[in-house]
């Protein structure tokens, strides 16, 4: 009997290391992108994805975009270095981008089909899985601030339209007149699309064959949503996104940005994700949560999970756009299937990197 139990013990002990190495072998090694000084801080943001080809922006415009992206990424990172939370860092950086007319969020929001600006935003806390989202706003200067208030000061996740703005008033969140969001560039984009729509409708009436209007085919529609993800000193992840939606969208249309799990998601167990692109496709796939799930259930590293969703699932469905993401170790994931994506991150030396084009 004694001999038998000794045999069983030896057998178990000799199989155990094999089991561990088999397990290791079946999971891809995670490459960590960490700064030696601040091993647990990380910050990445985007300023929208679309047809942004080299040479399509004037050197001055390119400089303007890069400067604003750098300002925002440095502000977010500085907040983390000062010990602020990932949620603070995300809110600070997104506010900077919302206040700039360069991006399709806050000040630079695009116009709806009936000539209005209708803003959406969301924020999520990876530690608690609490989230706040707002949609269909016309007067809130910084929708990301209101999204955070919904998360922290209400029992709800999503508030829309007039009710959300009433809530903003109650919490002294800055409201502006609708004309604050009016910019010549965005107005011209809407006029151009409306003209095309009219021409196509007339051609169709005359019996000419016309293809459907593709909102995303217009370069003006192709970029501008802003978003950020952060890993703070406590190891907590946060994600936030803010947008004016898509030019010429119909009244009341809500995109992926305020849909938790589509355009915005954070979970300390996996990653934080902020998306930009053709929202309808991101909603149908649940892009941000899908990336998190691939990491959770298939043990995929962040970049692989992001590429699988963007370059396979989104691509196969006919959608376009991209994401920025960060995992609980500080590994960064950036993936897009469009020509370009405005993006910035803090590299392993703690320096900002700003990129626009594919390569």
- State which H helix or E strand residue 342 sits in: strand 340-346
- State which H helix or E strand residue 194 sits in: helix 184-205
Q: What is the Cα–Cα distance from 71 to 19, expressed in whole angstroms? A: 49
Least CB distance to ligand ASP at residue 314 (A): 12
Least CB distance to ligand ASP at residue 248 (A): 12
φ, ψ (nearest 5 deg) of residue 209:
-75, 125
- Looking at beta carbons only, is 96 or 275 nearer to ligand ASP? 275
User: Of 85, 112, 183, 225, which is the active-site residue?
Assistant: 225
Residues in the chain: 359
Q: 310-325 as b/e, with b when 16 or more CB fall inside 10 Å?
A: beebbeeeebbbbbbb
Active site annotation includes 112: no
Task: Report the 10 Å Cβ neighbour count for 181.
Answer: 24
Least CB distance to ligand ASP at residue 246 (A): 5
- What angle separates helix 59-81 from helix 86-98, to the nearest 10 degrees? 160
Least CB distance to ligand ASP at residue 186 (A): 13
Contact between 283 and 262 (Cβ < 8 Å): yes
What are the residues binding ligand ASP (CB under 6 A)? 48, 224-225, 243, 245-246, 255-257, 263, 276-277, 279
Q: What is the Cα–Cα distance from 287 to 311, expressed in whole angstroms? A: 11
Q: What is the Cα–Cα distance from 85 to 235, expressed in whole angstroms? A: 10
Pairing of strands 340-346, 131-137: unpaired
Q: What is the Cα–Cα distance from 275 to 56, expressed in whole angstroms? A: 23
**DSSP bridge pairs for 26:** none
Could you list the active site residues? Answer: 225
């Amino acid at each position: 009997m004694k001999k038998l139990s000794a045999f069983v013990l030896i057998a178990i002990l000799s199989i155990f290391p094999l089991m561990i190495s088999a397990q290791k072998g079946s999971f891809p090694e995670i490459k960590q992108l960490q700064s030696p000084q601040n091993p647990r801080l990380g910050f990445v943001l985007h300023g929208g994805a679309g047809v942004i080809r080299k040479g399509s922006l004037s050197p001055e415009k390119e400089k303007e975009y890069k400067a604003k992206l750098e300002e925002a990424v440095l502000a977010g990172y500085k907040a983390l270095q000062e010990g602020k939370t990932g949620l603070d860092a995300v809110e600070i950086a997104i506010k900077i981008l919302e206040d700039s007319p360069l991006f399709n969020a806050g000040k630079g929001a695009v116009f709806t089909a009936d000539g209005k600006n209708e803003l959406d935003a969301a924020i999520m806390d990876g530690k608690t899985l609490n989230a706040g989202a707002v949609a269909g706003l016309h007067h809130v200067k910084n929708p990301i601030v209101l999204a955070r208030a919904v998360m922290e000061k209400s029992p709800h996740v999503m508030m829309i339209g007039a009710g959300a703005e009433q809530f903003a008033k109650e919490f002294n969140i800055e409201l502006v007149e609708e004309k604050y969001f009016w910019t010549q560039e965005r107005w011209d984009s809407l006029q151009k699309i409306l003209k095309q729509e009219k021409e196509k409708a007339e051609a169709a009436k005359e019996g000419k064959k016309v293809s459907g209007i593709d909102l995303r085919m217009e370069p003006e529609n192709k970029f501008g949503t802003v978003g950020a993800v952060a890993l703070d000193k406590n190891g907590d992840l946060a994600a936030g996104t803010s947008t004016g939606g898509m030019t010429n969208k119909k009244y009341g249309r809500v995109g992926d940005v305020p849909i938790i799990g589509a355009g915005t998601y954070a979970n300390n167990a996996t990653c934080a994700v902020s998306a930009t692109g053709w929202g309808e496709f991101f909603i149908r796939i649940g892009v941000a949560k899908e990336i998190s799930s691939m990491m959770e259930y298939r043990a995929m590293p962040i970049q692989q999970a992001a590429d699988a969703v963007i370059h396979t699932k989104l691509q196969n469905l006919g959608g376009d756009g991209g994401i920025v993401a960060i995992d609980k170790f500080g590994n960064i994931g950036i993936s897009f299937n469009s020509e370009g994506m405005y993006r910035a991150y803090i590299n392993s030396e703690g320096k900002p990197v700003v990129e626009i084009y594919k390569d």
